[in-house]
Amino acid sequence: MRKLKLQVQMSVDGFIAGPNGEMDWMVWNWDDALKNYVSALTDDVDCIILGRKLAEGFIPHWAGAAQIENDEQDFAKKMSETHKVVFTKTLESADWSNAILAKGNLVDEINALKNQSGSDIIVYGGGSFVSSLIKEGLIDEYHLFVNPAILGKGMPIFQSLSAKQGLTLRKAQGFDCGITLLCYEFKKD
């Protein structure tokens, strides 16, 4: 069975964006060790899942970045060329290349993806979509990139839980750019 991995940047106090969607507190000048970690994380991924709101910016961004010759072009091409599934209740068609829409029951759609042959699946967001995945216990690995910032309030992703979920720490690593990685595996009862 394929694993669903979450990669997300967050503040020390657990927010993925400020109260008005601000992301100016996130560290973007990643050091080589963090870039290598992300590259290894995505090497065995052949499907990206996104909520509709994030997809509207994510997909065009990486398609454009893949056209620019620089040190990050290979990663941009990986993001652009990887098959994507966009979860939506409002869109009727996908105008993006390498993307299809998922409009059915979230648990059923995710389990169907996990049961397909292929490599692992990664989710980047958005916030309410990730919250729904967490609430349903669908994420197998959490790759939390904790930024050196405390926001006090903002957009959480763990607020929808109705019961405790157990995690097993697989890796913790600090990077020179200031981000600390916490990698957890979901403990299924």
Per-residue confidence at 102, pLDDT binned at 50, 70, 90?
very high
pLDDT band (50, 70, 90) for residue 31: very high
74 versus 12: the higher-pLDDT residue is 12
Domain count of the chain? Answer: 1
CATH of the domain at 112: 3.40.430.10
What CA–CA distance (Å, rounded) separates 47 from 115? 13
Range of the domain at 72: 4-186
**Global pTM?**
0.94
Q: Is the pLDDT of residue 11 over 80?
A: yes
Reported as a single tens digit per residue, the pLDDT across 50-92 is 999 999 999 999 999 999 998 888 899 999 999 999 999 999 9
Preceding peptide of 166 cis, ω within 30°: no
Residue 162 has a pLDDT of 87
- Sequential DSSP letters for 63-92: HHHTTS-STTHHHHHHHHHSEEEEE-SS-S
